[in-house]
Each structure stands twice: as C-alpha cells, then as structure tokens.
Structure 1
Amino acid sequence: MHSLYDNVLALSTGLCESKMSFIIFWDDEFHAVHHYSHGIKNFHSTDFALYKERFGKLKASCFYAPNTKYHTLFQDLYFFKHYEQYAKTLIFPILDDKNQVCGLIGVLHPENPSAIEQNKHALKQLSQHVGKLHSEHKIKRRNNQPKPILLQSLNQLPGAHYEFIISPEGQLGFPNVSDELINLHPHFWSIPHLSCPDSIFRLLHRMDFHDFRTFLLEKEEGRSVEFSYALKNEGGSTKYYMVRINTYLNDAGETLCFGIVKDISLQKSYENVLEQIIFDISHVMRRPVATMQGLTQLIELDKMNRETVKEVAYKLQLVSNEMDSFIKKLYNNYQQRWEELEESEKK
C-alpha cells in the first residue's frame, strides 16, 4: 500500500507546510506517517478497532483540534499522545465507494491561522483522491490485477507537482507532470512538447540528471531533497521557486520520486527586505547609539556641575530625536515596500 499512499503523504506535508502528515485505514490495518525531515514511518502499534469505532460513524466533513492533548477524540490515542508537541490537528475522513468512512488523512502542525482555509481545501482534495485510489486498489486486489506504482492522475491533486522513476540501473523514466506546474511559469510551457526525459528533468531541476542522482545517493536516507532557483519572468522581474522531492525505494529496486514546486517569490522578497532592515538598523543606528553610550558614561553627578549635566542632556535629546526620526522613516519606507511587493504579487 506504500506504493499508493507514500507520495500522497509527502504531498500533504508539502502543501500544508506541516511537520507531519498521516494516513490511517482501519480495515487494512495500515497507518503510515510522513515527517518532513525523517521521511515515511509505519505505525504497527495503532489500535485500528478503536479508530474505527471512534471515527467510522462520525459524519463530520473534517476534524479540527486546536489542542490534541485535551481534545476528547484524540487525547487517549497513542499516536496523538506520542506526537502531542504538534498542538493543532486537521483531519479529513476518507470515504470508500459506498460513501462510508474507511480511514483518515491529516496533518499535525502549528500552522499559520491564515492558511487554515487553504490547508482545508488541499486536504479535502487529497482525501477524495485517496478514497478513489483505495476503492480502485480493492477492486484490483479482488481481480488479482497488478498494483499501481504511482498516482493515477496528478491533475486530480492540488498544487504544482510531478513524478518520475529511476530504474535499478540508474535510468530515468519519463516524468509525469501536472497541468498546474506547466502553467506555473512560461519556463515550463515547453514541457508537453519535449520527448526526452533528460530534457524535461533539466527544465524542472536546472541540473543534469546524473548530477542529481549522485546527490541523491549521497543524501541521508529518508530525507527529502530541497532546493530553489530563480527564473526571469516575461516582464524581466525575477521569480523564485522551491522544489521539494521525496524519494522511496520499492521492492523492485526502483526509486520513486515525487516533486512539489512552489512559488516562493513573495517569501524571498520578504527575506530580502528583512535583511535590508537588519543592515540598516545595525549600521545606520550604530552611530547615534554609540554617541548616547558615550554621553551617558560622562554623567557622573559627583564630578559634573549643573551646566555640564544640562549640556549632556541637551545632546542626548538631539541624538534621541535623530533616532526617533530615523525609526519613523525606516517604518514608512519598509511599509511602502511591503505594499509594493504584495501589490506586485496580485498582478
């Protein structure tokens, strides 16, 4: 079942920017977890009968617990007790072909409250897709058909993503790319017209496949591969993209690779602005701060007369006014830059 659901787990972790995602099917006694840095893990200690009893007949469209440690649905379940450091839980039920709840898909993470609706949308689509995969898988098992290796249709899933297989001999299989990724940037528009797997790979990764495979062999087992690169837009502006690739080794010795591409241009712009703010504060404000420190060291009331104290106080006031004026200009300047960045992202 890992060949069906491991990539979905990696996708749910990436889309929701969470620390961990999980899938549970109680009748199949399948419970797998994807941790953003440790990869896939199986949970054999799960009490599947208890999960079925607790969640199988609930008709909620989703379950949200601001604190799993105290929520009555989760607090005494071993899995949630074990991972109670992730306070918030967002879970969607998985429905089978008879519209009955057969499992759960969810994420555990202290997510940004503003992203909750986006995460709900992504998980809802993933739960529907997993339900279809589960039903098709059961039918194929009954008919003794071979198990599918990768996802059936990337375009049923949210987000810009792709998948490919590396054979045991190190040969690259033809990448399967979602429509959303192709439409992400003009750079990717030529993908449907390329007939060489290596050409598509170079377009996606901005690197040679053999260099990537060498890097893959050297990385720590179970960890995802993550990198970013910059692309020029049609208008000449630079866009930044992050690629996260999760890899799995199947029984046939093939490496299954599932990649997520995200536009991080706004995040990158924020980082650049923050770096500039830190630079300005550390350099421009050092002079008045040093002046104030020097003046305060001069103030020894037992050695200074009243006129000298008044003169030092006057200079302190001038320096403090200068700092206050600078802080206001700094705030207005960067407030304007934030607004310009956000406005450019809307276009």
Structure 2
Amino acid sequence: MNEQSRLKELFEYHILDTKPEKELDELVEIASLICNTPISLITLVDNYRTWHKSKKGMELSEVKREDSFCQHVVNNSKEIFIVEDASIDSIFQDNPYTKGEKGVRFYAGAPLITPKGNILGSLCVVDTVPKKLTEEQKKALQVLSKKAMDYLNARKLIIMQKDNLELSALKLKKLTDEAPCVIFQLHKTKDGQLRFDFLNKGVKKLHPDLKAKSLKKNPERLFDIIHTDDLPYVKESLAHSYNELTEWNIAYRVKSVNEIPHWHMLKAVPERDKQGGVIWYGTIQNITNIIDYEKTLEQILFDISHVLRKPIATLLGLANLIADEKKIDGQLLKEYSGYIKTVSAELDTFTQKLSIAYSVKNKIIAGQNQDLPKAGKSKK
C-alpha cells in the first residue's frame, strides 16, 4: 500500500480533529453491544498518531502510532485484524497499553476502506480480557465499518459540494464587484424595516457618500444622496412596488458638490417572501452621460430647426418664384442662381460649424462623466 497516497486521501476527508458526530457514535455503541466489549472506537491513522473520531469506554483522544493496535489494520490487510490475547502475542506483549491488569487483551478492528482502496483506520472493539469473536460478530463488525465508511464518504461529498459552492460564490462576488453599477438585494419586512442582504463594491463608484458597510447598517442612507425635489417621488415608487409587487423602475437626480446634476437609474424586480415582506433584486446605474447625450441631441435639433428655418424659407421662396415665372431671361436666372449660391454657402458654413461645436461638446461631456465618482454632497 502506498502510504503517501493513503495519507493524502485521509486528509481530503477533512475529518481529523473534528467534533464527535452522532451517526458515528451510534455505530461504536452498536459494535460494543454486538461484540460484548466495554470499549469501541472509530479510529483514523495519520503519519504520527491514531486519532479517535468516536469512542466508547475510553477517555484518550489519540495515541502514538507506534503504540497503536489500529496501525496494524492499516498495514495488515482488508480483513478484520484480531488479537485474542495481547499479553501472549509477540507483537503486543510489550506494548505500553497491554501492561497492567486493565491493559488491552483483546482487539478486533475492521478496516475503513475508501473507494480508492486506501485504509483510513478502523472500527474496532477492545476488551481487558481475552476474547474470541463468532463469525456472525465478525460479519457484523465489517458491516458496521462499511456503514461508517459510507457516512464518511457522504460527509466528504457534502464538504466538496460546499467548497465548490463557496468557490462559485467567491467568483460571482468578484464578477459583481467589477460591475460598473450597484448590484443589490434589498429586503423590506412586513413591519416596514429595510435591509440590504447583498451589495457589491460598485456602491463606492456610484457616489462618494455611499459605503457598502454603512448602507447595510442603515439602508435609509441611500435616500440621503437623492435630490430633495426627487426624494418624495422615489419613496412613493418604492411603496407602490411594495404594495403592488410591480417592478421598481425609476430615474432620479442625486446631490453633487459642483452643482452639475447627476442622474441615477434604479431597476429592481420584487418578490414576496414567506413572512409577507418583499425582496428586490436589482441594479443602480449612473445615467448622467445618457441624460447629457439626450440633452445634446435635443439641443442639436433645436439649433438645426432654429438656424435652418431662414435659409430654407429663402430657398422655398426662390423655388416658388422660379415656378411662377412663365419665362425667365438670362439676367433673372443669373440673379436667382446667385441667391441660391449664397444661401447654400451659408448652409454649408453652418453645418461645418455645427459639426465642430458638437464634437467638442461631446468630448467635454465625456470628460465630465469620467469624473462623476468624485462628486460630493451639495448644500441644501
């Protein structure tokens, strides 16, 4: 047997130095009853000791491996290892645990065998008088050791699944923390108490006055950054979503120190809990750049409609004059052409200036949006 492989698999069970577990304690109780012994143990053998996971009739939690009877189960075979009278056994007669009137005389250990074939330790019974086991007792001891191993395998699987879930949760948290928005789970109880069950690190990017730790302690702090004029509307929309179980979808202004209006958009899907409260799963985004972009487009449309109204009216007037003229001589045609060229030149100049102006304006807006997280609280 490869000892390094055996030890590696033993450590993978994460069982050493753990607290007693009822399921295993009951198996050693049954073993003592079946074999009529005062002592029974579930032992695990590591590189320097034998540790007792479950024990009946013994106070010691571990013994040195060199003095352990159970090490011979690991080293011997996959059958039950039996010592009927240790006091006359050449291997054990000088063992420190064999000496004295209350020393070990009888030992029988059924191996704890993993699916890979490694032996982790034993389920054993011990007595202070010589003893023999019947075939039925031996078979029962093997069945109990298999049951103990089934439990350890199930326990290991649960631990692995828990580790995988924790790893997945850690990866998900890293992803959410890098998201360019706030991802949250907000809970409002039936009696009206608010709490954040989850908040990613995007909070600190959203507004300098927001901190995840302080928000979890006092969710009402979220309302402190909302513009005074918009706060009643935000609270009203929250109440409506709570009462009607409708999506909470709202855009609102937030306070800033530089007097430039900043906008946030909150979207959350509600779910009623078993106690009658509501849980929202949602996001909060800074949409200031979107608002600025829409305002820029509105301004462009206004500028175009305002500035182009005059030249377009002129062109339409010339077109009507030309259409009404029954006969246009060369001089009149030349005069009309001059007007058209003049108006066309004005339109060309205007469109070039418009293109340059809004290109610069968009660069300024982009620069402002990069600095948005630096904004602070404004004076009321």
Larger-Rg structure: 2
**Structure 2 length normalisation: TM-score?**
0.45
TM-score scaled by structure 1?
Answer: 0.49
